[in-house]
Amino acid sequence: MMKIINYLDHIDKRWIYLVLAIAVIFPFLFPIGCPMKITPPVSNMYNYINDSIPEGGVMLVSVDYDPSTMAELHPMGKALITHCFSKNIRVFLMGLYPPGVGLAQDMISNTLEEWNKSNPDNIKILGNDISLFAFVPGVSVVILKMGEDIRGTFNTDAYGNDLDSLPIMAGVNTYNDIDYMVDLAGSSVILSWIIYANGRYNQKMGIGTTAVSMAEYYAYLNSGQANGMLGGLKGAAEYEALLIKNNVSQDRNQASIGMDAQSSGHLTYIIFIIVGNIIYFIKRKKEK
Amino acid sequence: MIKGKGIPLAISFLTGTIIIIAFFIPHAPFGSFEEISLRWYSIIAGFTMLLGVDSLLRLHTNKIKRKENHWAYSIVLLFGFLLIVIVGIISTIRYGNAFLTGSGFMYMYDNMIIPLQSTMFSLLAFFIASAAYRAFRARNFDATLLLITAIIVMFGRVPISEMISPKIPIFTEWIMSVPQMAAKRGIIIGIALGAIGVSLRIILGIERSYLS
Amino acid sequence: MKRHLLLFLCMISISVFSQELIDSTNVALIDTAITEMQHSGIVLNVCDTPNDDGTSITIKWDINDSLKGYLMDIHRIHGECDTAIALDMNPEKGIHTDNMVHGGTNYMYYALFKKDDIVKKTDNSLPVKAIGQWFNKERFDSFIVLLLIAGAFAWFIYLAKKGKSFYIRKIAGLDAVEEAVGRSTEMGKPIMYLLGIGYVTDIPTIAGLTILGRVAKKAAEYDTRIMVPSYDPVVMTTAQEVVKEAFTEAGRPDAYRKEDTMYITQDQFGYAAGVDGMMMREKPGAIFLQGLFFAESLILAETGYSIGAIQIAGTTETAQLPFFVAACDYTLIGEEMMAASVYLEREPLMLGSIVAEDLIKIIIVFVLIIGFILGLLGHGFKIGFFTDMFEWLVRII
Amino acid sequence: MAISTSIWIWIAALLTLSIYSFLYKDNPFYKFSEKILVGISIGYTVSIYFHNTIIAKVWNPLVHDHNFLVIVPLILGLLMFSRLFKGKAYLSRIPIAFVVGTGCGMSIPSSFENLFKQVQGTMPQVFTIGNIIILIGVLSTLIYFFFSVEHKGIIGKVTRVGITFIMIGFGAAFGATIMARISLFIGRIQFLLGDWLGIIS
């Protein structure tokens, strides 16, 4: 018995790594398909976009994260864009920091390709249905300036085209012309959006954030400053589940599959902590 | 006199107090002080960063010169640095702004920095696993409490827990929005007061170790 | 700060914007000449923007349903000069700030409401001047709190100077410093002190540097090596000075080794890897992690645990604290770490400042309790008077 | 989906794999990728600093607006490099003093705002058990941070409650952080299996 305990106590780290890697990769190859319960903050956002934005309406998504949180936030952006495409809502993307603009571009090319492949009867075009504003430094200043004049704030899109020349810009001048905005970020920049865009210009908005930061923003949901929230990979997965339920997209997507992996990963950690502590206690008892 | 700490202490005192006063006085010239010093701050603080980059590059050029162990990797580092700077300059000349999508600079960012950085951070998932097994011990009441809460939260945040009981996710949310929030508020208030304390000690010159 | 930034940017944007718009303004004026001008019942209320530096005027108007679907232009009149300061605005905002005025000059404003070819004009407003204020009334509450804190600081520092001694409670992690240094000495192992990946301008790094001074002094007294691998060159040279001073204070300047405070690399994971390797080679008996730590905290703490060192950690980063608590023997949490230098130094002036912080905490505790009672009586038992009191309290905070 | 033919995806995939090879043991592939990451990311940071600060806050005001005041921070910044010269290092205290002084000056008003916000947030508008527990938690945590009172008797018991809240809070944060890290790993797996190998869609 003690031999096993000793062996387990001094086990090579690499076995631990291997167990975790297998636990996370396995669900990708053999999906489990955990059922998903939809939480109110997610369904609120979904319903608002689904019911309250008219056809041809305008949605703004600000991509304010960097690679370190992209795994959680990227699927949210994709799900939101797909939803807007299906409702024929125009989507604008932007980034307050340089990394966000790069990530937003990736998001656009991905969703456009996927959508046009599976919906040949409703082709979406860059510049007509979706666009990405150029990067402008200034963060909260940019948010404020958009309330005065969006065209004057950015001048061009991220591909160097004059905004005035884009069909998607028709009638879009300030926040008044944007029906809904979602900020995707893992940092406190969400607060700047809430304080300036919502506080000063009454922009209707939703939040997409990481699992770590979720707890901070409940207060803003309660106060009504934001009407919906997607939290972490789970939030994204719930949104995808809603899209599938309403036949917007057919197959399970990134976040939903990721959720299986997340589940098995968490269970692995829990088992590690428990086993590690059992060994610790047995050894301590023996030492006494 | 110039070599002593007198002048720097006076500078800290003056800049600190002026900014605090300017916070309450919108009238010129105070109104613009905060904005000006913020701009200066970002310019000067950037040089601290440049100094670090300079030391790092110097460390590696020296390694190459002396042909120390693994000096070839230092060449890789310098190559990476020069590559992105040159690409950045070329992109700026071609597009007017290196941060435009489609410029070579952003291409390097998207396809090299993004994957490398996120992979680097994801290594932590493995280190946490090994730490969970080897270092996170319920050695006392506090640590036990911490680990139990962590296990509940990890479990409650994934769909499996719903299959066992729908109450588990609700309980997890409650932990996040009630006791977690309370502790966080307390700690934040403490840190805010502590920061005020340290700031005042520095402005008043009681704390001066940073000038060594 | 954000106010000023905003002001500044609005100024820039409007200056760029207003020049571009001169032509379109003319067009708008021609329009008004062709169509029949109707009089609108709207009145513009203009006033100096409060709490600013005297370069803006606030224009307000009442919103009513008759404005639905209209777009609004606002014009500023100064002598002969008529300038459009806002074009095609949605009137539902009810407020606009003109940031392009000079202090002390009289201006008048009027607005045009447009829909299809109907244009309604308001009367010219009363003349108004922009005046800079000497005190920002919105920040009165902050001012009072500042006075309170500064007063408390001054009072306790004064008491300390007069020779009053203050009590400071036990901080377990700091009492363990002696034990950790002692045990390292017994085992003949060095001590390792990590300042994290902050710059010398970050407050946690500064706090870490002061604690370093105390720990180094203990190390000098016990005649034990202290190693400080650093992330930033400025932090490194500062740490060298701090350690040198501590050794001199302890009367052991000969034992100081400059090369023990070394530069590793300014790269988060490179630093973690470098320090990790050093831990495995040198097997320090005690490891201090005091400063600004991010994702590397876990890697460092786990390696330290695996080599069996006593670990004393401290940071203000709430996301990293759990890892420290789980893997280290002692952890200084947030404010404890900022107070640590005072605890170790026991200098009367510094102690005074800690007591002052506590006084503010007591005030906060009382405010919270009073707020709770008022809230309970007001909102819980619906007693109007207490509701008002509660609202008043929330408002002043 | 089939295996990718894009050269960039191959580069990203190979770099990703070489970083993961570190988990087996330190090796030349890992060292190569790590060094290239460090090189590129400091190059990137320097470019950002140059673009957002030097050009926008020094060059433009100097050349276009003839605002010569910006020379002062520029000189102060350059003084920072005196650290590298023996005997002149004391000059770098001046910019450090300025930056630390400004930082402290600014941290005081912003700490106030934080304080006010947190205190206000704790004042309950509605009476639920949750709000009362939050109040108890905030008060006891705050009392834990009292330094001038001995933690004995009633205060000792209250601080015990405070530390319990703190540990529960840490446990929750701990769980959430783990969740974020594993999401990152999942992201990389999706890239490797999906974008690169095309095994999953």
Digit-coded pLDDT (tens) for A263-277? 999 999 999 999 999
List the single residue in A138, A173, A174 with the smallest CB-CB distance to C9.
Answer: A138
- C-D Cβ pairs (cutoff 8 Å, strict): 126
Helix (H, G, I), strand (E, B) or coil at C42: coil
Q: In this model, does residue C88 exceed pLDDT 80? A: no
Q: Quick check: B58 pLDDT over 50? A: yes
Q: Which residues of chain A from 211 to 270 reach within 8 Å of chain C, CB to CB?
A: 212
pLDDT band at A213 (very low <50, low <70, confident <90, very high): confident
Strands (DSSP E) found in C101-196: 106-115, 118-121, 128-129, 191-196
Domain encompassing residue D131: 124-201
pLDDT digits (tens, 9 = 90+) for C238-265: 898 899 989 999 999 999 998 899 888 8
Q: Are strands C37-39 and C118-121 parallel, antiparallel or unpaired?
A: parallel
Q: What is the mean pLDDT of chain A?
A: 88
Instruction: Give CA–CA dist A111/A132, Å, rounded.
Output: 13
Spell out which residues of chain D touch residue C361, defining contact as CB-CB under 8 Å: 142-143, 145-146
Confidence of residue C38 (pLDDT cuts 50, 70, 90): low
Q: Is C319 on the interface with A (CB under 8 A)?
A: yes
D38 in any annotated domain:
no
Chain C contacts in chain A segment 195-214 (CB below 8 A): 201, 212
Sheet of strand C57-60: strand arrangement? C45-48, C57-60, C95-98
Same domain, C321 and C357: no
Q: Above 90 in pLDDT, residue D131?
A: no
**What structural domains and CATH numbers belong to chain A?**
34-251 (3.40.50)
Q: How many CB pairs under 8 A join A and D?
A: 80
Overall domain count for chain D: 1
The alpha carbon dihedral of A61, A64, A65, A67 has a sign of positive
List chain C residues with CB under 8 Å of B143. 325-326
Cβ separation B186–D43 shorter than 8 A: no
pLDDT category of residue C21 using cuts at 50, 70 and 90: very low
Indicate if the pLDDT at residue A219 is higher than 80.
Answer: no
Average pLDDT over every residue of D183-193: 89
Write out chain A residues lying below 8 Å of D178, CB-based: 266, 269
pLDDT at D61: 85
**Is there a contact between B129 and A272 if contact means CB atoms under 8 Å apart?**
yes
Amino acid in the structure at residue A32: I
| pLDDT tens sequence across A89-144 | 999 999 998 778 888 988 998 899 889 988 898 999 999 999 999 887 777 778 88
| Subunit contact A152:C6, Cβ cutoff 8 A | no
Q: Does C223 score more than 90 pLDDT?
A: yes
Does residue D149 lie in a domain region? yes
Residue with tokens 């980034």: A95
At A158 the three-state DSSP class reads: coil
How many residues are recorded in chain C? 397
Say whether B77 and D19 touch across the interface (CB within 8 A). Answer: no
Of C273, C323, C358, the CB nearest to D147: C358
Q: How confident is the model at residue B1 (pLDDT cuts 50, 70, 90)?
A: low
D100 in a domain, yes or no? Answer: no
Q: What is the pLDDT of residue C208?
A: 92
pLDDT band at D161 (very low <50, low <70, confident <90, very high): very high
Instruction: State the pairing for strand pair C95-98/A90-94.
Output: unpaired
Reported confidence tier of residue D127, pLDDT bands at 50, 70, 90: confident
Is the dihedral angle over the CA atoms C282, C285, C288, C293 positive or is it negative? positive
Shared domain for C229 and C304, answered yes or no, is yes
Residues C341 and C193 in one domain: yes
Domain carrying residue C87: 2-129
* pLDDT the model gives residue C10: 45
Average pLDDT over residues C181-198: 95
Q: What is each CA distance from A189 to A101, A207, A209, B120, D186, in whole angstroms?
A: 15, 11, 11, 24, 25
Helix (H) / strand (E) element for C321: namely: helix C321-327
CA dist D183 and A212 (Å) reads 11
Chain B residue whose CA is closest to A101: B101
Q: Tell me, yes or no, if C39 comes closer than 8 A to chain A by beta carbon.
A: no
Q: Is C180 left (phi over 0), alpha (psi -120 to 50) or beta?
A: alpha
Residues 250-309 of C with CB under 8 A from D: 265-267, 269-270, 273
Please report the pLDDT score of residue D114 as a whole number: 78
Contact A273 B177 (CB under 8 A): no
Q: Is pLDDT above 60 for D146?
A: yes
- For residue C30, what is the domain's CATH number? 2.60.40.10
pLDDT in tens, C108-163: 888 888 887 788 888 888 888 888 888 888 778 788 888 888 898 889 989 988 88
Which chain A residues touch C96 with a CB distance below 8 Å?
none
Q: In Å, what is the CA distance from C16 to each residue of B2, B201, C10, C11? A: 46, 44, 10, 9
Query: What angle is formed at CA C188 by the lines to CA C183 and CA C194, rounded to 5 degrees?
Result: 70
Do both C73 and C125 map to the same domain?
yes
Beta strands in C247-339 (DSSP E): 261-263, 286-292, 310-315, 330-333
The total number of structural domains in chain C stands at 3
Distance set, CA B121 to CA B117, C296, C299, D37 (Å): 6, 9, 11, 12
A245 vs C66, more confident:
A245
Domain contains D188: yes
In percent, the amount of chain A with pLDDT more than 90 equals 43
Q: D201 pLDDT band (50/70/90 cuts)? A: low
D162 domain-assigned: yes
Chain A interface mutation, best of B39, B84, B100, B101, highest count of A Cβ atoms under 10 Å: B101
Residues C36 and C99 in one domain: yes
> Given this model, what pLDDT does residue C36 score?
47
In a domain, D109, yes or no: no
The complex scores an ipTM of 0.83
Report the pLDDT averaged over residues C36-64: 77
Question: Are B185 and D138 spatial neighbours (Cβ–Cβ below 8 Å)?
Answer: yes
Residues in A closer than 8 angstroms to C319, CB to CB, are 212
Integer angstrom CA distances of residue C133 from A261, C36, C52: 59, 43, 6
Per cent of chain C over pLDDT 90 is 28
Would the pLDDT of C18 be above 70? no
State the DSSP H helix or E strand holding residue C72, giving kind and residue range, or none if neither.
strand C71-78
Query: Are residues C8 and C100 located together in one domain of the fold?
Result: yes
Supply the mean pLDDT for chain C: 82
The β-bridge relationship of strands C286-292 and C191-196 is parallel
Inter-chain touch B179–D103, beta carbons under 8 Å: no
Decide if A272 and B180 are in contact by the 8 Å CB cutoff. Answer: no
**Contact residues, chain B, for C166 at CB < 8 Å:** none
C198 Ramachandran zone, left/alpha/beta (phi>0; psi -120 to 50):
beta
Per-residue pLDDT of B104-154, as tens digits, reads 887 888 788 888 888 888 888 999 999 889 888 888 888 899 999 999 999
Model pTM? Answer: 0.83
pLDDT in tens, C310-344: 999 999 988 899 999 988 999 999 899 988 888 88
Please tell me whether residues C221 and C325 are part of one structural domain: yes
pLDDT of residue C212: 94
**Domain shared by C325 and C366, yes or no:** no
Q: Is the pLDDT of residue A6 over 90?
A: no
One domain, residues C79 and C63: yes
D184·A25 Cβ contact <8 A = no
Reported confidence tier of residue A253, pLDDT bands at 50, 70, 90: confident
In a domain, D111, yes or no: no
Read off the tokens for C26.
């003319």
Nearest CA in chain B to D88: B3
- Binned at pLDDT 50, 70 and 90, residue A51 comes out as very high
Q: What per-residue confidence (pLDDT) applies to C26?
A: 36
User: Residue D4 falls within a domain, yes or no?
Assistant: no
- pLDDT for res C12: 44
Kindly state whether A187 is in contact with chain C, defined as any CB-CB distance less than 8 angstroms. Answer: no
Pick among B15, B24, B50, B124 to test the C interface (most C CBs inside 10 A) = B24
Cβ-Cβ contacts under 8 Å, D127 against chain C: 375-376, 379-380
What average pLDDT does this structure show over D187-198?
A: 89
Give pLDDT tens digits for A80-100: 999 999 999 999 999 998 778
Q: Six-digit token pair at A62?
A: 């600000």
Residue with the bigger pLDDT between A98 and C48: it is: C48
CA distances C173 to A82, B135, C140, C328, C329, Å, are 53, 19, 39, 10, 8
User: Each residue of B12-43: pLDDT tens digit?
Assistant: 999 999 989 888 888 878 877 877 887 888 88
Q: What is the CATH number of the domain that holds C289?
A: 3.40.50
